């Protein structure tokens, strides 16, 4: 008995569906590959977790520690990490439960380049401030300096987002020892370690200084601090030394400030 043949339009529809399905599979593989370009998390993380995947997460949410806070990059998912994840989630419109699952990781994949820098910043903006390139010539190893620059960029990405996704201009970041001497930098400048960025352009220097306090920056120097009327310096030291007198910022700023809306 002859097998009943499918009517030609049905065959066409089935073929079309098969093409769509294979396209979806392909797209999904492509997305996975994009995530893999830097780092891919393999499990949901919440309080009590520990490991390198927690540490990788902490690097990326360190810009969300709350006013005057500093998130330890220690691989231990404690309350401070949960709070930072929650602020990150809230800032990007995700369900804010402080648990890092697929939605949180997808957002991070969107925000990072294959070299693990956040999408709006690059190592080339952070390297030798005297016109050279690279992260050598400072007191730390090149890899340690480069890692500090990476952490700085993730905090800058948070600041940038909090300012309404406004582009930030870095006029000077890492400086080799000779570069730092040439520009008259302090002998223990955070610029030597890859921890610092000088910001110019918009928004105002005072706005940059004020908002940086919410995004993990321990060193903040702006208008009114000697030599800082034409930029705002931010760095990721973990004790707060803030001075921008013309912006109403001193080291003893009240620790109860609420970050204003954009
Ligand atoms: Zn500086």
Q: Return the minimum-mean-pLDDT range out of 17-26, 51-60, 62-71, 216-225.
A: 17-26
pTM of the complete model: 0.84
Instruction: With residue 197 as reference, give the H or E element that holds it.
Output: strand 196-200
What mean pLDDT do residues 238-242 have? 94
Is 161 designated active site? no
CA 234–ligand 1 middle distance (angstroms)? 7
CA 12–ligand 1 middle distance (angstroms)? 65
CB 185 within 8 A of CB 178: no
Helix (H), strand (E) counts: the chain? 8, 5
CA 44–ligand 1 middle distance (angstroms)? 38
Write down the CATH number for the domain with range 42-111: 1.10.101.10
Separation in Å, CA 205 to CA 69, 121, 129, 185, 200: 21, 19, 20, 19, 7
Pair type for strands 232-235 and 219-221: antiparallel
CA–CA distance, 187 with 160 (Å, rounded to integer): 29
CB 94 within 8 A of CB 103: yes
CA–CA distance, 175 with 181 (Å, rounded to integer): 9
CA 118–ligand 1 middle distance (angstroms)? 21
CB 207 within 8 A of CB 159: no
CB 56 within 8 A of CB 34: no
pLDDT in tens, 108-136: 999 999 999 999 999 999 998 888 889 99
Helices marked H in 62-141: 79-91, 102-111, 123-126
- Give residue for tokens 């105002």: 204
CATH number for domain 120-262, candidates 3.30.360.10, 3.30.70.20, 3.30.1380.10, 3.80.10.10: 3.30.1380.10
Instruction: With residue 199 as reference, give the H or E element that holds it.
Output: strand 196-200
Eight-class DSSP state of 203: S
CA 245–ligand 1 middle distance (angstroms)? 16
pLDDT in tens, 168-210: 999 999 999 999 999 999 999 999 999 999 999 889 999 999 9
Domain segments of the chain as ranges: 42-111, 120-262
3-state secondary structure of 191: helix
- Among residues 161, 191, 215, 228, the one annotated as catalytic is 228
């Amino acid at each position: 008995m002859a097998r009943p043949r499918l009517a030609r339009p049905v065959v066409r529809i089935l073929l079309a569906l098969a093409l769509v399905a294979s396209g979806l599979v392909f797209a999904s593989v492509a997305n996975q590959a994009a995530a893999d370009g830097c780092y891919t998390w393999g499990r949901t993380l919440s309080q009590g977790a520990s490991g390198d995947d927690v540490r990788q997460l902490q690097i990326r949410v360190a810009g969300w520690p709350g006013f005057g806070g500093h998130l330890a990059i220690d691989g231990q998912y404690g309350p401070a990490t949960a709070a930072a994840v929650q602020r990150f989630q809230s800032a990007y419109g995700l369900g804010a439960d402080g648990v890092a699952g697929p939605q949180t990781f997808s957002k991070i994949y969107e925000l990072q380049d294959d070299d693990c820098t956040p999408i709006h910043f690059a190592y080339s903006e952070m390297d030798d401030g005297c016109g050279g390139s690279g992260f050598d010539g400072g007191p730390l190893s090149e890899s340690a300096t480069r890692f500090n620059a990476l952490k700085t960029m993730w905090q800058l990405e948070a600041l940038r987002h909090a300012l309404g996704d406004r582009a930030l201009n870095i006029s000077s970041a890492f400086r080799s020892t000779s570069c730092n001497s040439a520009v008259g930098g302090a002998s223990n400048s955070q610029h030597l370690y890859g921890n610092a960025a000088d910001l110019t352009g918009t928004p105002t220097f005072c706005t940059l200084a004020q908002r940086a306090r919410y995004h993990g920056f321990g060193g903040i120097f702006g208008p009114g601090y000697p030599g800082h009327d034409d930029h705002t310096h931010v760095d990721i030291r973990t004790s707060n030394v803030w001075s921008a007198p013309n912006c109403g910022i001193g080291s003893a700023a009240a620790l109860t400030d609420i970050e204003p809306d954009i």
